[in-house]
Amino acid sequence: MLAKQAIAAPAQSWKTAFLNPGLLKKASVHTILIVYTVIALFPILVILVNAFKTRKAIFNDPLAFPDASSFTLVGFTEVLERSTFDVFFFNSLIVTLLSLFFVLLFGAMAAWALTEYKFRGNLFIAILFAMGIMIPIRLGTVSILQLMVDLHLVNTLTALVLVYIAQGLPLAVYILSEFIRTIPKELKEAARCDNVSEYKIFFQIVLPLIRPALATVAVFTMIPIWNDLWFPLILAPGESTQTITLGVQQFIGQFVTDWNAVLSSLTLAIVPVLILYLIFSRQLIKGLTAGAVK
């Protein structure tokens, strides 16, 4: 009796699934998304899985999960015992957080100024930012390097922070402008009637309202900075200023590569971005302006 029901029920649900185009559409959308997620996560999974395996096991069966015989933490001990690793880690974190902070602050301020105030050169500056989105900053590497040499900033984290702010600003300004434009005009006018200064309007009314947009921009900005190898290699390759992506390279030799150490350090490098992402994604709540007007 029970078995009969169990057989009958799925048959029925399949029938309704095919008869119901909405459900079918949903299912196909989810299938595509799941396939994409698997493809995107696969390399990360390989890194994670192999970071905990012996060198031999990595090469014998790269896709196998670690078991009792192949499990090892040798990679992690090696990475953590080389005293410089924490320096790399700290460098990356400092550079990313500082750049992120200034990109968000200056980006939001510029976006507010460009959308809210009419002034001479407004359009020109907006166009400059738009060009910044279109032209990759790496094209200017040579002149950036020259500039940093002239400013005696080579091999400092300041050089990286400055470059990353420049790199992140255009897109930040672009996205935030769009969001700031959606803030009802009456809110700012109500604040002006309340004798709220323009700075306070920006910090206490506009910024809280574009929090979801700030979180989006933060995620967009943070990941390329954390993952960047190009500018650390060129502007700050010194022992004390290496970032983690650059630091990992020391395990990759021309003839011998310490795969355990490489995979372990990459695994460790995922953690901070993941934490930052979780923090920001909590801010991505829709409908924050609900209730302001109408």
Partner 1 sequence: MADVKLNHIKKSYGKVDVLHGIDLDIKHGEFVVLVGASGCGKSTLLRLIAGLEEITAGELIIDNKVVNHLDPARRGIAMVFQSYALYPHMSVFKNMAFGLKIAGQGKRAIREKVEEAARILQIDHLLDRLPRELSGGQRQRVAIGRAIVRDPNVFLFDEPLSNLDAALRVQTRVEIGKLHKDLGATIIYVTHDQVEAMTLGDKIVVMNAGRIEQCGSPLELYRYPQTQFVAGFIGSPKMNFIQGTVDQVATEYLALTLKDGAQVKAYVDTSEVQKGQQVTVGIRPEHLFEGRDLASSLTGEVKLVEHLGEVTYIYMNLADGTEVVVRGEGESEIRVGDKLEASFAPESVHVFNMNGKAMPKVRRSTEIPVDNPAIMTASQA
Residues that bind partner 1 (CB under 8 A): 184, 186-187, 189-197, 200, 205, 208-209, 287-294
The CB-of-207 to partner 1 minimum distance in angstroms stands at: 10
- Of the two residues 44 and 292, which places its CB atom closer to partner 1 in the complex? 292
Q: Give the C-alpha separation, 243 to 232, whole Å.
A: 7
HSE, side-chain direction, 13 A CA sphere, residue 14:
6
- Return the H-helix or E-strand segment holding 250: none
Q: Give the C-alpha separation, 112 to 107, whole Å.
A: 8
- Of the two residues 19 and 193, which places its CB atom closer to partner 1 in the complex? 193
- Of the two residues 68 and 193, which places its CB atom closer to partner 1 in the complex? 193
The CB-of-112 to partner 1 minimum distance in angstroms stands at: 16
Q: Give the C-alpha separation, 171 to 134, whole Å.
A: 10
Q: Give the C-alpha separation, 117 to 3, whole Å.
A: 71
Geometric angle at alpha carbon 236, from 230 and 240, rounded to 5°: 130
- Token representation of residue 76: 């992690």
- Of the two residues 87 and 288, which places its CB atom closer to partner 1 in the complex? 288
The CB-of-108 to partner 1 minimum distance in angstroms stands at: 15
The CB-of-204 to partner 1 minimum distance in angstroms stands at: 8
The CB-of-138 to partner 1 minimum distance in angstroms stands at: 39
- Of the two residues 194 and 239, which places its CB atom closer to partner 1 in the complex? 194
Contact 95, 158 (CB under 8 A): no
The CB-of-197 to partner 1 minimum distance in angstroms stands at: 8
- Of the two residues 156 and 289, which places its CB atom closer to partner 1 in the complex? 289
DSSP conformation letters of 99-154: HHHHHHHHHHHHHHHHHH---TTHHHHHHHHHHHHHS-GGGGHHHHHHHHHHTT-T
Q: Give the C-alpha separation, 133 to 172, whole Å.
A: 9
Residue 214: how many other CB atoms lie within 10 Å:
23
- Of the two residues 199 and 255, which places its CB atom closer to partner 1 in the complex? 199
**164 burial class (0-12, 13-18, 19+ CB within 10 angstroms)?**
buried
* Bridge partners, residue 175, by sequence: none
The CB-of-290 to partner 1 minimum distance in angstroms stands at: 4
The CB-of-190 to partner 1 minimum distance in angstroms stands at: 4
- Of the two residues 22 and 291, which places its CB atom closer to partner 1 in the complex? 291
Which three-class secondary structure state does DSSP give residue 197?
Answer: coil
